[in-house]
Structure 1
């Protein structure tokens, strides 16, 4: 089977995004950590305000929130001898203290991940994972992920001073280490537009996943409380953003990737064998 990005033959590898795709439904850990960081200084920032720029790195997110007239005014009212630049440094330092516990608390598989990982293992399709967090933060989550059965062949982290090119180079190097011969036979799956752009850059099949992702940005409990119409509206908005960023395919739940791989690989007999083993 050949699809619109030139996949011919078998899928050779999968490149996962970590937060909001594999673990941490709605990518809540950074949101919670940032809220706690401001609360430490007596400033209560509504979750809705923080979620407006969900996906920014912690420092940029802190700066943007403090540029908000109400939040900035509250800070200067509480700390008249401090500058907003000083506020950014203090809040971000507190955020760095809060993010580790928040990441560990949120380190649970999203629905459908275990089924997908079991399938990849059965089909002997290797996978790596990427994150916008530094290695020191990811290291706190890795043992918890391993306990749940997630064992990437490599992890791409984002260190201070890294650029988008750094991430791309790491991914390409790791895929070469997996003996990938055609980047078009790699799937890049993530929940954000930047993940789709990464996939395009490495010439992979870019697959966006909607539910539990950052574009919706709600916890599983919050999402479950919505009406069907509200859920569908948020899903449609996320789909539009992922497609606008160049997604080749968009799926709602991450385990729907299994059907896509089956269609590409045209391995119905192997899939039937997997179903037999699983059942």
Structure 2
């Protein structure tokens, strides 16, 4: 059993860049609207963290949306429909990530500090490889280049299962999973860390749980910020997070607590 951290694995949108995970949301709403079915931003956010085909499928089979799809199209939403929507969605999301690629404040500094400690930096994402071919260079231009990248579609199955994390640990050459921390703003992203036996840290403010831009968040009264923070934190803890912080900038505090537990012989569980 390792008593030292070896790696931290980050999600992308809502975690290291795109405060509020804005890029996919408009694309999902526009996608279904193109097929005559209105969905809300709130509905579009519910499956966030899943691979995008799985996300579209979850939306299309949601009870309300499925009923509206059947009313408009005269048939039940099918896997073939999902395949078609996915092909339309990918170029829409490729375009939207260009507008939402800014690193979240503090993310780069935290990553640099982790590297200085000798930790490896992994990454998994619900985005597919064509979307990441646009987004990864935009992140690199700002200084963020993780040691690996595993996309939805790279493995036989994606979140909430463990396979993307299995590939990541193999890429990084680290083991056991209990020496790794997975950081994510969605429940499926946390669950992929739990599925392989990693420590998991949820992000309550900067990602999908609140879905607010940095400016929208900063404009809220302190009491409302606290209410939303607590609400999002409770959802992430219920979804499997060992610790919850506002964003990556606050990650070092959670890592210190994890390292103290490891020193005492505790395992993630």
TM range (shorter): 0.7 to 0.9
Q: Contact conserved, 2:110 with 2:252, CA < 8 A, in 1?
A: yes
Question: Is 2:106 aligned against 1:106?
Answer: no
Q: Match for 1:231 among 225, 231, 235?
A: 225
Alignment map for 1:11-22 (pairs within 5 Å)? 11-22=5-16
Q: Match for 1:147 among 131, 141, 150?
A: 141
Match of 2:23? Answer: 29
Q: Contact conserved, 1:50 with 1:65, CA < 8 A, in 2?
A: no
Give, in angstroms, the shift of residue 142 of structure 1.
1.0
Q: Contact conserved, 1:119 with 1:258, CA < 8 A, in 2?
A: no
Q: Distance in 1 between matches of 2:71 and 2:214?
A: 31
Match of 2:214? Answer: 220
1:152-193 deviations in whole A, cap 9, x for unaligned? 111111107524243232123123x2xx34432221111122
Give, in angstroms, the shift of residue 262 of structure 1.
5.0
Give, in angstroms, the shift of residue 67 of structure 1.
4.6
Give, in angstroms, the shift of residue 138 of structure 1.
1.1
TM-score by length of 1: 0.77
Q: Contact conserved, 1:54 with 1:217, CA < 8 A, in 2?
A: no
- Structure 1 gaps of 5+ residues are 1-5, 267-279
Q: Distance in 1 between matches of 2:76 and 2:240?
A: 41
Q: Secondary structure at the match of 2:103?
A: coil
Match of 1:252? Answer: 246
Q: CA 1:111–1:248 in structure 2 vs 1: closer, same or farther (change >3 Å)?
A: same
Q: Distance in 1 between matches of 2:32 and 2:65?
A: 13
Q: Secondary structure at the match of 2:134?
A: coil
Match of 2:165? Answer: 168
Alignment map for 1:68-79 (pairs within 5 Å)? 68=65, 71-72=68-69, 75-76=72-73
Q: Contact conserved, 1:188 with 1:196, CA < 8 A, in 2?
A: yes
Which has the larger Rg? 1
Aligned residue-pair number: 253
Q: Contact conserved, 2:201 with 2:254, CA < 8 A, in 1?
A: no
Give, in angstroms, the shift of residue 61 of structure 1.
4.5
1:20-65 deviations in whole A, cap 9, x for unaligned? 1111112111111112324445665443343344445342255146
Q: Contact conserved, 2:115 with 2:121, CA < 8 A, in 1?
A: no
- Structure 2 gaps of 5+ residues are 261-269
Q: CA 1:264–1:91 in structure 2 vs 1: closer, same or farther (change >3 Å)?
A: closer
Q: Which moved more, 1:35-44 or 1:102-111?
A: 35-44
Question: Is 2:185 aligned against 1:188?
Answer: no
Q: Secondary structure at the match of 2:197?
A: coil
TM-score by length of 2: 0.79
Q: Secondary structure at the match of 1:250?
A: strand
1:185-234 deviations in whole A, cap 9, x for unaligned? 22111112223322223322211111111112223233333332322222
Q: Distance in 2 between matches of 1:167 and 1:261?
A: 22
1:81-114 deviations in whole A, cap 9, x for unaligned? x875586565444322211011222111112202
Q: Which moved more, 1:30-39 or 1:128-137?
A: 30-39
